[in-house]
Amino acid sequence: MNALLDGLNPEQRAAVTTTDGPLLVIAGAGSGKTRVIVHRIAYLLDQGLARPEQILAVTFTNKAALEMKTRVHQLLPPSRRYGELLVATFHSFCVRVLRRHLDRFGGSYTRDFTIYDTDDQGRLIKACLKELQIDEKQFPPRMIQYAISRAKNQGETPETLAPASDPKRDAILKTFRLYEMRLAAANALDFDDLLLMTVRLLRQFPDVADAYQNRFRYILIDEYQDTNPPQFNLVRLLTQRHQNLCVVGDPDQSIYRFRAADIRNILEFERHYPRAKTIVLAQNYRSTKVILQAANAVIRHNRARREKQLTTQNPVGEPIRGLIAPTAEAEADLVVEALLQWQRQRSHLPEAETRAAILYRTNAQSRLFEEACRRRGVPYVLVGGFSFYQRAEIKDALAYLRLLLNPHDDAAFERIINVPARGIGKATLEIITARAARDGLSRWTAMEQVLAEGALNPRAATALAGFAGLIRDLQARLEGSPLSTLVSAVVNRSGYLDMLAQEGTLEAESRRQNLEELVTAAAEADERGASLREFLDQAALVSDTDDLVDNARVTLMTIHSAKGLEFPLVFVVGLEEGLFPHARVVDDGEELEEERRLFYVAITRARHQLYLTQAQRRRVYGEERITDPSRFLEEVPEQIVQFEAVPSSSGGVTQSPLSYGAPYGAPASPSAAKPAVELPRSQPAASTAEGFRLGDRVEHATYGAGQVVRVADGKLDIAFPGKGIKRFVAAAAPLTKLPRR
């Protein structure tokens, strides 16, 4: 037996040695897909089936590409040199091709083209809007930029798009046309063009296509479920001669639809390649049996998938812990407390075995967990975004607040004088800056003098006076207004929320949510009796996270950012209707399935221990709202979710709800009715109220079956699947106790 095949399970070995023709490898979470790709490349080289330059392996990150190439070299004898082995991302591969052939298009295109990044694109789009005399306030550049990028990711050009049917679409189409003309004139390509122009090159110039089709005898594509139309077309063009194509991916982990990823590319692979063979990797090497039972039960509710059942030879493992907190703030505190307890119990283990991740649906959720970690002195790393108080929209809002307290704060003045855009141009700012420098004044005082002297044209003077009036009006609210009211007034009166609403992009929605979270932070400061200055000081201190990066014990990130990672301990937080699944997708079947895939990805990041947490009440834009448990929680078999009281750090028993979870409802399908693994049953907390105990199952005439999730002060909190948490006075509760399971 070839040594390269040692240690591979039968399915992995088949995926490595099935070298002729198209091959689809459905690789479940934690099933060793990278190992298969690396061993397959090494096997092709070792068996002499291909030379290094005849193999192309494509993945989605430069880090993954480097790791694959390094591991291939480690598998093979050092005497062999494989410098020509090409392991690349789609975009880096396209750059290589275009650097050699872009001049074939003629005109201003040369091989020395410039690649425009996001900022370059934004500036060019602004210039196009100005040239076309399109109002930026009505059609924000970011909205236009997002629309153009999305069209390109779907393989569209200005010529293939349908005619404009409304003013917004007309503005997008006109800008798109001019934008493309200006790119060509500048010999520039944006990031999306790298794919589109490579596809166009191979289609338009058969000799170029022939050269690459002849060169690459074996092509391997990682994360195939995340490919978009241009990437799909590129793969089709490259494999027209030698169809030794191996694609590896998992439909159940397709979570990038918002980037135009098309799950049909992997679901319909056999239709595109009729000779294809399919191998399923379902043996998981990462997680315990309990975690996999939850993952299998959840994803079974999706229709757009390839049937598979993850299995493992790992131990049964600890039950999943369900945690229901009374508030979002308590959720963060209890998560960090549970994290510390878990890590203390494993202090004898290597540090890598005590790492944890807190996974959330939206970036705005990070703030509470950042603050909870800081309060307890827990070092953390924030992945997939800036620290909450370092995000641009938060810094903008805080700059307004700083200017209200101190109008002579020049840094704050310069940051927000034209944010959002209010018609204060560069020439006006130059006049103010020159006056300030000449007379040694603050920008604010210089502005007042310039306005008083009538030194500006009427349009500029009106815009500047409007800004000054806005700040004075907000300053008048300083006395007597709660902080949350003041912050809300800033983000509304400034026009910031209107600006984001007009953009209409996913990024704008995320930024809006962050501003809502800032209002919530201000409401919490109100409860502490904090002043505006104290609030700003706290925000300034929280911004300094450099000391938290080294030796981090917990990683905070969105679930999208967690793709491909794994942790011994994982908290999936904020499992509430409207948050996860997100409110904007609940009426869209396809989007809802993507949200479920996102939950599946979150579950399968956990190796040893998984927490699923929910807050009964959560502040949204400063207003406290009662939440309903996420429908996804009902899809986790209740028999594998444990609910128990645990000791607090002070040594007592925390009654509620530092609970390790609760059954969230009856199994969603008959197949989930009986657990695949037997778990020890936890003992309920000692506290009772009128005969009811924590964890008791009860029946209510209106709400149906539920479970006691809190016993305190003679009251009961009952979790009713799909109906949320209901509170009853124990002595008068219209409840019938059900037998314990």
CATH of range 388-541; options 1.10.486.10, 3.40.50.300, 1.20.140.10, 3.30.465.10: 1.10.486.10
Q: Which range, of 300-309, 525-534, 543-552, 647-656, averages the lowest pLDDT? A: 647-656
**Residue 571's beta-bridge partner residues?**
358, 611
Judged against a pLDDT cut of 90, whether residue 299 lies above it is answered with yes
Residue stretches of the annotated binding site for ATP:
27-34
- Percentage of residues in the chain with pLDDT exceeding 90? 49
Q: What is the pLDDT of residues 675-709, one digit of tens each?
A: 344 443 333 333 467 778 777 788 888 888 888 87
Amino acid identity of residue 304, one-letter, is A
Q: What is the pLDDT of residues 146-175, one digit of tens each?
A: 899 988 888 788 888 877 778 888 999 999
**pLDDT value at position 672?**
34
Q: Between the CA of residue 727 and those of 328, 395, 435, 730, what are the distances in Å?
A: 18, 40, 64, 9
Which one-letter DSSP state was computed for residue 165? Answer: -
Fold of 114-186: Arc Repressor Mutant, subunit A (1.10.10)
Mean pLDDT estimate for the chain: 85
**pLDDT value at position 280?**
96
Q: Which range, of 338-352, 410-424, 486-500, 677-691, averages the lowest pLDDT? A: 677-691
Superfamily of 311-387+547-645 according to CATH = P-loop containing nucleotide triphosphate hydrolases (3.40.50.300)
Mean pLDDT of 531-558: 67
Rounded CA-CA distance 493/487 in Å is 10
**pLDDT value at position 656?**
34
Q: Which range, of 9-13, 108-112, 338-342, 625-629, averages the lowest pLDDT? A: 108-112
Select the more confidently predicted residue: 425 or 573: 573
Q: What is the pLDDT of residues 430-471, one digit of tens each?
A: 899 888 878 877 889 999 999 999 888 999 999 999 999 999
Just list the catalytic residues: 33-34, 222-223, 253, 605
**pLDDT value at position 390?**
77
Q: Which range, of 61-75, 303-317, 364-378, 709-723, averages the lowest pLDDT? A: 709-723
Q: Between the CA of residue 399 and those of 402, 419, 442, 595, 660, what are the distances in Å?
A: 5, 10, 16, 35, 41
CATH 3.40.50.300 at 3-97+196-281, yes or no: yes
Rounded CA-CA distance 611/574 in Å is 11
Judged against a pLDDT cut of 60, whether residue 674 lies above it is answered with no
Nearest to 641 by CA among 677, 604, 590, 600: 677
Q: What is the pLDDT of residues 136-148, one digit of tens each?
A: 888 999 999 989 9
Mean pLDDT of 226-235: 94
**pLDDT value at position 679?**
42
Judged against a pLDDT cut of 70, whether residue 595 lies above it is answered with yes
Q: How confident is the model at residue 666 (pLDDT cuts 50, 70, 90)?
A: very low
The answer to whether residues 254 and 39 touch, using CB atoms and an 8 Å cutoff, is no
Which range is most confident: 154-158, 647-651, 660-664?
A: 154-158
Residue showing tokens 């880090």: 63
Judged against a pLDDT cut of 80, whether residue 414 lies above it is answered with yes
Angle 524-527-531 (CA atoms, 0-180°, nearest 5)? 85
Residues 6+ apart with CB under 8 A from 410: 436, 442, 443
**pLDDT value at position 267?**
95
Domains 3-97+196-281 and 388-541 share a fold: no
Rg (CA), the chain: 29
Q: Render 465-488 in DSSP notation, one character per residue.
A: HHHHHHHHHHHTTTTT--HHHHHH
Q: Which range, of 174-183, 194-203, 423-432, 646-655, averages the lowest pLDDT? A: 646-655
Distance of alpha carbon 502 from the chain centroid: 22
Cβ atoms < 10 Å from Cβ of 107: 9
Judged against a pLDDT cut of 80, whether residue 97 lies above it is answered with yes
Q: How confident is the model at residue 670 (pLDDT cuts 50, 70, 90)?
A: very low
**pLDDT value at position 260?**
86
Rounded CA-CA distance 655/646 in Å is 8
Task: Please state at what angle helix 426-439 crosses helix 443-453, rounded to 10 degrees.
Answer: 110
Q: Tell me the domain boundaries of the chain.
A: 3-97+196-281, 114-186, 311-387+547-645, 388-541, 696-737
Select the more confidently predicted residue: 287 or 677: 287
Residue 408 host element (H or E)? none
Nearest to 522 by CA among 619, 427, 590, 411: 619
Q: Which range, of 251-255, 308-312, 446-450, 641-645, averages the lowest pLDDT? A: 641-645
Judged against a pLDDT cut of 80, whether residue 300 lies above it is answered with yes
Rounded CA-CA distance 77/549 in Å is 38
**pLDDT value at position 433?**
86
